Structure 1
Amino acid sequence: MQGLRGLYGHHTAQSIVIFAALGFMGLEYFLSRLAHRADTHDLAESASSLSIAIGRHFVHAFEAGIVALPYAFAYEHRLLQFSSTSAPALVALFFATEFAYYWQHRLAHRIRWMWASHAVHHSPTKMNLTAAVRLSWTANISGSFLFFLPLVLIGFHPFAVIGMLGLNLFYQFFIHTELVRSLGPLEWVLNTPAHHRVHHASNGPCLNKNFGGILIIFDRLFGSFAEAPMDEVLRYGLAGGARARNPLGIVFGEWVAIARDIAAAPSLSAKLHCLVAAPQVSKAPSAKGAVRAVIENAAVTLIYPGE
């Protein structure tokens, strides 16, 4: 009986979140029309985003299975023993999660194997709340969870880490909009709608910028921060990519492209290069080898952070 109550409570909370998100999406659409902003939404594109979100809901259980075993093992062998719910621990976990998220997000733009998942989120050509729920079905297959595994190994409970990541994504839902122009002094500290629009833009000066989750401070510290260019209108969607509306094509399109490039690569080194090189150069297999590609990619990211 207790288990049934817990299951019912979980589904009730999930339903509340879903209906609240749909409500905010509808409100944003209404306000954009009220402001005579006809360019903020593409209904077919929004429908694709919602379809992808529904599909992600069904594959979430499989993704949870990928994460559960390594997280349980890491927590069983944790280095420190402390309460994850104490105020100091929660503050430390917040900043640690933000730091890990920043580097996971940044490398997802630099390594094609990770980009194959993250590209799904960058494919919308309209910046609105429906774009926020266009998330990959394969993020954990790409290894995103590995960036947060050290937090569990330190001693933070897996549920605390997952909860803090949930808070991160909850906040980010609201910054996928063009209706909010500026938050004043908060722009220095928080990842705001203005900063996140730059991140999603495919204009040259905006590429690979503003990777923060809730905070923008790590972008400022590590040289990946950018303001919107003053003399350009922001364009959204994948750089050089056509608008796509087929949910399956959006979710698996880059994976298919990787498979095609691997099949055409002439050597093992070149095949591995297709997986680990930066997305914009990975389609040109190189004789330098996969190991050198990883080293060069990491050097560009860490030594020349503005690139």
Structure 2
Amino acid sequence: MWESIQTILNFKNPVAYAIPFFALFIGAEVYLNYRERSDNYQLKDSAASISMGIGSVVIDILTKSAAFFLFNFIYVNYGLFNEALSYTLLGWVLLFFLDDFTFYWHHRFSHQVRLLWAAHVNHHSSQHYNLSTALRQSWSELFYKYLWFLWLPFLGFPPLMILTQISISLIYQFWIHTKHINRFPAWFEFIFNTPSHHRVHHAKNIIYLDRNHAGILIIWDRMFGTFMEEDPNEPVIYGITTNINTYNPLKIASHEFINLGKDIYKAPTFVDKLKYIFLPPGWSHDGSTMTADEMRADWEQQQKKNTP
């Protein structure tokens, strides 16, 4: 037990080393926006995002520690291929792909299950898209996020190896929150998640909703039918379908849980209450609101009607 505590205390979290670089790049982007007379940065909005980021770091110390103990118990007692995967080249290569695959499905379900969306939506709540937006991390998501990765210690990946790769993925996703990078060469855009792909993910345009859930590799979206190319004829509008217009971190973190609670309360049957929790955001028992897929289908139908 004490050995495990010492191990987690000595864990060199890559995110901690990346924070000064986050600050440096945000400062550089602020300067570029000033030079371009752009309104992409708004002080209150960026302050709210940074506050969310600080809160997530504090909470993550606790949840990551709990995840370590759970991962370690599984790894020590039930790991299948510990010797082959523990800090070997093969292990790191496999973990890179398996971690990213796991993130894709965790992220995708966070957009398709209302309860999970309530935890994730704050990351999409800014109407600006810049590097400070990357720091607008969920607080509540951290209490269950690591459960998605439980299958990795069963395979034989050690806990610190898993937590390190999760941190590397988080660091990668910082730099793609920018408008200042247009496109990379086609081969790079085909394989990796890029600013162009992630701008689509943060869009509230109906055609772009719930697309490009990738962490590092965009290949998962291409494989599982959720990929969408950024269209120069469809400029991205950032935010969520019903913007919350607040800079209060507590409201940003909790507003969708409050909305979900209201919907559950007004649902006429127990089954409807469960549907509000587990069906996609936008589902309603009386059909008064629409899910992203329903909005997209309706939009496409209107497009066909308006096309000669």
Superposition deviation, residue 43 in structure 1: 1.4
Residue matched to 1:295: none
Residue matched to 1:191: 193
Q: Does 1:146 align with 2:147?
A: yes
Measured at CA, do residues 78 and 15 of structure 1 come closer, stay the same or move farther in structure 2, by a change above 3 Å? closer
| Structure 1 unaligned blocks of 5 or more | 287-299, 301-307
Identity, % of aligned positions: 34
Report the TM-score, using the length of structure 2 for normalisation: 0.84
Superposition deviation, residue 47 in structure 1: 0.6
Superposition deviation, residue 62 in structure 1: 3.1
Distance in 2 between residues matched to 1:7 and 1:153, nearest whole Å: 23
The one-letter code sitting in structure 1 at the alignment partner of 2:197 is H
Distance in 1 between residues matched to 2:96 and 2:232, nearest whole Å: 33
Superposition deviation, residue 198 in structure 1: 0.6
The one-letter code sitting in structure 1 at the alignment partner of 2:27 is G
Residue matched to 2:271: 269
Distance in 1 between residues matched to 2:11 and 2:113, nearest whole Å: 39
Report the TM-score, using the length of structure 1 for normalisation: 0.84
Superposition deviation, residue 15 in structure 1: 5.9
Matches within 5 A, 1:150-169: 150-169=151-170
Distance in 2 between residues matched to 1:194 and 1:179, nearest whole Å: 10
Distance in 2 between residues matched to 1:16 and 1:81, nearest whole Å: 28
Measured against aligned partners, the alpha-carbon deviations of 1:206-262 in whole angstroms (never above 9, x if no partner) come to 111111111111111111111123322210111122332111100011111112222
Distance in 2 between residues matched to 1:96 and 1:9, nearest whole Å: 22
The one-letter code sitting in structure 1 at the alignment partner of 2:214 is G
The one-letter code sitting in structure 2 at the alignment partner of 1:64 is K
Residue matched to 1:85: 87
* Contact 1:79 1:153 (C-alpha < 8 Å) held by counterparts: yes
Distance in 1 between residues matched to 2:129 and 2:92, nearest whole Å: 32
Measured against aligned partners, the alpha-carbon deviations of 1:117-149 in whole angstroms (never above 9, x if no partner) come to 1101111111101000100111133x3222211
Residue matched to 1:225: 227
Distance in 1 between residues matched to 2:142 and 2:156, nearest whole Å: 21
Superposition deviation, residue 205 in structure 1: 1.1
Measured at CA, do residues 147 and 188 of structure 1 come closer, stay the same or move farther in structure 2, by a change above 3 Å? same
Superposition deviation, residue 285 in structure 1: 7.1
* Contact 2:15 2:168 (C-alpha < 8 Å) held by counterparts: no
Residue matched to 1:296: none
* Contact 2:15 2:171 (C-alpha < 8 Å) held by counterparts: no
Distance in 1 between residues matched to 2:286 and 2:264, nearest whole Å: 9
Residue matched to 2:137: 135
Q: For 1:205, which of 204, 207, 211 is the aligned residue?
A: 207
Residue matched to 2:173: 172
| Runs of 4+ that moved beyond 6 A | 6-9
RMSD: 2.5
Distance in 2 between residues matched to 1:202 and 1:220, nearest whole Å: 21
* Contact 2:201 2:209 (C-alpha < 8 Å) held by counterparts: yes
Superposition deviation, residue 173 in structure 1: 0.3
Residue matched to 2:123: 121
Residue matched to 1:181: 182
* Contact 1:271 1:285 (C-alpha < 8 Å) held by counterparts: no
Distance in 2 between residues matched to 1:216 and 1:14, nearest whole Å: 22
Distance in 2 between residues matched to 1:66 and 1:16, nearest whole Å: 22
Q: Does 1:17 align with 2:18?
A: yes
| Structure 2 unaligned blocks of 5 or more | 288-293, 295-308
Superposition deviation, residue 151 in structure 1: 1.1
Superposition deviation, residue 113 in structure 1: 1.2
* Contact 2:68 2:160 (C-alpha < 8 Å) held by counterparts: no
